Amino acid sequence: MERVATGIAGLDEMLNGGIPAGRHIALYGGPGSGKTSFGFEYLYRGAKAGEAGLYITMEETPEDIVDNMKNTFPMLSDVSQLVSAKKLEFIKPDKLELESVANLLEDRITSNDVKRAVIDSSTMIRLSFATDIEYRQTLFEFLSLLRNLDVTTVTTVEASTSKREEMRYDIEHFTMDGIINLYNLDREDRRIRALEIFKMRGTDHSRDLVPFKVTPNGIKVYIGEKVF
């Protein structure tokens, strides 16, 4: 099976090499759990390896995302160069619609050979639907359309909780090909970050809850370590 290495330290090992190519996975997590940082680094590592990446932001401005990521990851100092070289592009669609996202993606795949994309977040799109049924149908159609494109996507989904025991199943849990849960766990006087691969269709993967850190030169996933 062809896989797309995320390039995030430790994560590819948990995925037995990476995300199955052409699949569409979700990063599910509460506020500040690291969704944007993960999505960004997935594109950044791809760009460094020569694969063009498209970051579709549904809420924050592209400028804010780039500024925040430069501050979060000061040692990834060539972000501006990768943007100039068109290996990284950040864009906010005019409309909060999956159709606009699909059009954007198709356009950039054709014009710039984009291989990786991030959609941050699907929650913004969901809120524009009157009913869950409508959203689920539209998301399903969107994913069917993506399957005809040569792109591997990561979509962020906002969870209403950072606690593992309070996680509920959302529409994305059933529709997406894979789910990675990000947690900001409460531990006495501090919070610690942890993640788990909740599902990944078509491949075996780690089922451990593992700690991770956001460091100046990227995210580090500490496989084999326990979450205390």
Ligand X SMILES: Nc1ncnc2c1ncn2[C@@H]1O[C@H](COP(=O)(O)OP(=O)(O)OP(=O)(O)O)[C@@H](O)[C@H]1O
Nearer to Mg ion, 35 or 92 (CB): 35
Extract long-range pairs of 2-7: CB within 8 Å, 24+ residues apart: 3/203, 4/46, 4/115, 4/116, 4/152, 5/45, 5/49, 6/41, 6/42, 6/45, 7/41, 7/42, 7/44, 7/45, 7/46, 7/48, 7/49
Alpha carbons 39 and 44: distance in angstroms, whole number: 9
Q: What angle do CA 28, 73, 172 make, to 5 degrees?
A: 10
Q: Does 162 bind Mg ion (CB under 5 A)?
A: no
Restricted to residues 209-228, the positions that interact with Mg ion (CB under 5 A) are none
We find the least distance from the C-beta atom of residue 65 to Mg ion, in angstroms, to be 8
Choosing from 96, 171, 214, 223, the residue that interacts with ligand X (CB under 6 A) is: 214
Q: Give the binding range for Mg ion (CB under 5 A) out of 35-43, 127-135, 169-177, 207-215.
A: 35-43
Q: Does 72 bind Mg ion (CB under 5 A)?
A: no
Tell me the residue ranges of DSSP E strands in 32-79: 52-57
Nearer to Mg ion, 36 or 206 (CB): 36
Alpha carbons 196 and 128: distance in angstroms, whole number: 29
Q: Does 124 bind ligand X (CB under 6 A)?
A: no
Q: Does 108 bind ligand X (CB under 6 A)?
A: no
Nearer to Mg ion, 36 or 181 (CB): 36
Alpha carbons 112 and 184: distance in angstroms, whole number: 36
Token readout for 221 is: 């996933």
We find the least distance from the C-beta atom of residue 27 to ligand X, in angstroms, to be 8
**Strands 52-57 and 24-29, how do they pair?**
unpaired
* Residue 29 contact among Mg ion, ligand X, none, beta carbon within 5 to 8 Å by kind: ligand X
Q: Does 36 bind Mg ion (CB under 5 A)?
A: yes
Nearer to ligand X, 20 or 178 (CB): 178
Cis peptide bond N-terminal to 122, omega within 30: no
Q: Does 211 bind ligand X (CB under 6 A)?
A: no
Contact set with Mg ion (CB under 5 A): 35-36
The residue ranges that bind ligand X (CB under 6 A) are 29, 31-37, 72, 214, 216
